[in-house]
Structure 1
Amino acid sequence: MQKSTTSALLRKLSFLLIWSLLILNSCNDDTKPVPPKEENIYLKESSSIATLNKQQVLQKAGTLAAVVAQYVKHDIKVYKITYKTKNTDGSDITASGALILPVSTGPVSMISVQHGTISNPDEAPSLFRDGSEGSSFGSLFGSMGYIIAYPDYIGYGESKDLPHPYEHRASLASASLDMLRAAKEFLRGQTDVKWDEKLYIAGYSEGGFATMSLQRKIEEEASSEFNLRASSCGAGAYDKTAFMKHIINVKTDGVAGYNSLYLWVLLTYDRIYKLNKPASYYFTEKYAPQITASGKNASIPESFHLALNDSFKKALNDGTDKAFIDAIADNDVYDFKPKTPTQLYHGTDDPLVFFFNSENAYNAMQKRGATNVEFIKVNKGTHSSSILPFLLGTQAFFANTL
């Protein structure tokens, strides 16, 4: 009788043991449901453009090769990415840019480079054509050991059928920020390189203006998304109000190429802010018909202020054309207190984007109590001759803030 009772007890204990093991096994990590793949919000598509070794990177650097050879340390992989952003009217559009990855085993930082003015659509970074800024400078900084995000902006690359919002603060900032968000999503889905989450931003000329615009947007709206470590802005037109007052009242060099850029800004603001003035409102009879026909490609081979109607200049000087004045002021980007270590580079003899832009920005930042801004004046530097000091200074600045 005792044997029968013992056997029954053992059977019961065995059943309980098996049941317990089944329960424990069902809780084992190996059988946990796999979390769903995180969906991309900004990134749409990516495609490989090129793979370059260090020697090919130096070839793309052209005349800079001898100066920068010591910094070229990595092969690179180049991708085109397309992403969601907003046009100037708030509509949803697809934009693009180049994303350059160094071939590196260790974690690396990212630089968002905002390109300078381009008039040829073939120079868009995502096309990565030889001789373009994105191809030469992008390859160079990528080979130094940085992930490079190079937005095309609206109006180039995937959005080439739209007009480029030249020197428009808000859209340059949003297109660049959304490119960074898409780049983050791309990096999350690959294993070739590890991002250390550090972000640096840089740009020259229109790129300098775009970089300062991006810096403000990140600091004010997206500081929780990105660990922004430093910003290097070169020769940007940050004080649009002072710039416009200067070119409508003061004799300038009269270089047609420079004037086409001033004209481009004016026409862009007229369009974006829906001022809808005819060319004859702004310009004299000598130039209005040509501007109506050719837009920013019209040739003005004399001081820009001589091409403007006296009535328009008077309306700006006495404040009666409030709509245009407000459009200009909406693109002033300089008057804030940076939270991020910032460098301002500018040639003292810049005939295109006048030196006072960076000087006014630095003074305004100092007045607001900024202690992390350095102003580097390139003595006798022009708009073109100050690029190399800017590049070398930016490389050193970023390396020292790692």
Structure 2
Amino acid sequence: MIILTPISCKNSTELATPVAPERVLADSKLIGEFQASQLRGRFTGALAPVQLLVRYGIKVYRIEYNTTNTDGKPIKASGALLVPNTDGAMPLISAQHGTIASDAEAPSYYNSGSEIYTFGTLFAAQGYIVAAPDYIGYGVSKDLPHTYEHREGLATASLDMLRASREFLADQQIKWDSRLFITGYSEGGYASMSLQKKIEEETGEEFNLVASSLGAGAYDKTATMRYLVSNRTTTNSDYNRLYTWVLLTYDRIYGLNRPASYYFKEPYASRVAESGRNANIGVSLNDAFTDAFKKAAAEETDQAFVEAVADNDVYDWKPRTPTRLYHGTADNLVFYFNSQNAYDAMQKRGATNVKLYPIRNATHATGLIEFILGTYTFFTNPSNL
């Protein structure tokens, strides 16, 4: 069994104390309470051994809070807050979810099959408070477009979810021991890296961030874009829908407003124009792109597009927080070079508290379990990179 151990606060006296943000918590509701025996019953078959990690029952709350959309307008967002049934002071994990296919999978619904229902619950049952943002575009903000793989949109929604959670815990007199951990896989890995960077660079001493465990995120958007336009990649239409989703998100948020025919040849341009991110593209994506777009992207003559992509790079900076990067070496959805490039860039900047954990021969799907188990171990002893 993993036992939580006290972690001393980091020395961050070199940081300026920020102005206290306005209250962001708008509403909260208890949506479920579950005993430890009920939680153990969720983990069967190959996952049966993790039943030993369940120590506490939990309460699950839906949190609604005020945040800002990518256009600067104030909006409401939502998320789930999982609180262990214990009187002791507990650490807090900000858990950013990976790509989801429907609003019903958002954390604040706490539906079976969602990340928060399974792996998020396992963290909570081990003694962590877990804050899980829906992101913009899900939950209470479901009528807005999701900010898919957009650095600032994901980071802002996640940061304000943390602030709302802090206010809720204080209102309910739930004991938080001030320690904060960050984790996420896939889109959640990218969102978590974006959140970590925002906390470290913009919030001063507002949070006591102890450790960050990131899995298979597309941190180097520029390298990913160049690879996709210049190389033959998967013909998996589900993967290509995700790449298209990123492209259309950046086109919208940065006001590029290009027609689908700028990016895609026929018949794919018509499909994207009609179905958006759900368009069926069953060829290597570089075979679906127009020659003009590929040339402009590769040679960086389309400055507006290149700058939009680069604005979402989150790999080349110097984290202060102990950070693990997990990634499957055979990942053909979010390419392994994203974590390798991040590690190399951070090392060059002198970040000695970042370590790369290659998951040998693992794909995007098969690397998940090793990432989760490694994260548990790391959070138990963050000094052991």
Partner in structure 2 of residue 269 of structure 1: 250
Verify: 1:170 aligned to 2:170, yes or no: no
Q: CA deviation at 1:65?
A: 3.5
Verify: 1:349 aligned to 2:349, yes or no: no
Q: Choose from 275, 280, 289 the match for 2:261.
A: 280
CA deviation vs aligned residue, 1:16-73 (integer Å, no higher than 9, x gap):
xxxxxxxxxxxxxxxxxxxxxx997100000001101112212334556413122110
Verify: 1:251 aligned to 2:219, yes or no: no
Partner in structure 2 of residue 121 of structure 1: 103
Structure 1 length as normaliser, TM-score?
0.89
Q: Choose from 122, 134, 148 the match for 1:152.
A: 134
Q: Choose from 379, 382, 385 the match for 2:363.
A: 382
Verify: 1:328 aligned to 2:309, yes or no: yes
SS of residue in 1 equivalent to 2:29:
strand
SS of residue in 1 equivalent to 2:364:
coil
Higher relative contact order (CA 8 A, sep 6+): 2
Runs (4+) off by over 2 Å: 58-65
Decide whether aligned partners of structure 1 residues 39 and 251 sit closer, same or farther in structure 2, where only a CA change above 3 A counts. Answer: closer
CA deviation vs aligned residue, 1:51-103 (integer Å, no higher than 9, x gap):
01112212334556413122110000000000000011000000000000001
Do 2:83 and 2:129's aligned partners in 1 also have CA atoms closer than 8 Å?
A: yes
Q: Choose from 85, 110, 113 the match for 1:131.
A: 113
Within a 5 Å distance, the mapping from 1:189-228 to structure 2 comes to 189-191=171-173, 193-228=174-209
Partner in structure 2 of residue 76 of structure 1: 58
Q: CA deviation at 1:269?
A: 0.2
Q: CA deviation at 1:351?
A: 1.0
CA separation in 2, counterparts of 1:63 and 1:138?
A: 19
Gap regions ≥5 residues in structure 2: 1-19
CA separation in 2, counterparts of 1:380 and 1:188?
A: 45
Partner in structure 1 of residue 294 of structure 2: 313
Verify: 1:371 aligned to 2:352, yes or no: yes
Greater Rg by CA: 1
More helix by share: 1
Partner in structure 1 of residue 170 of structure 2: 188
CA separation in 1, counterparts of 2:249 and 2:100?
A: 15
CA separation in 2, counterparts of 1:237 and 1:39?
A: 30
Verify: 1:239 aligned to 2:220, yes or no: yes
Gap regions ≥5 residues in structure 1: 1-37
CA separation in 2, counterparts of 1:45 and 1:176?
A: 16
Do 1:199 and 1:230's aligned partners in 2 also have CA atoms closer than 8 Å?
A: yes
Decide whether aligned partners of structure 1 residues 65 and 382 sit closer, same or farther in structure 2, where only a CA change above 3 A counts. Answer: same
Give the aligned residue type for 2:297.
Answer: L
Verify: 1:290 aligned to 2:290, yes or no: no
Decide whether aligned partners of structure 1 residues 57 and 94 sit closer, same or farther in structure 2, where only a CA change above 3 A counts. Answer: same
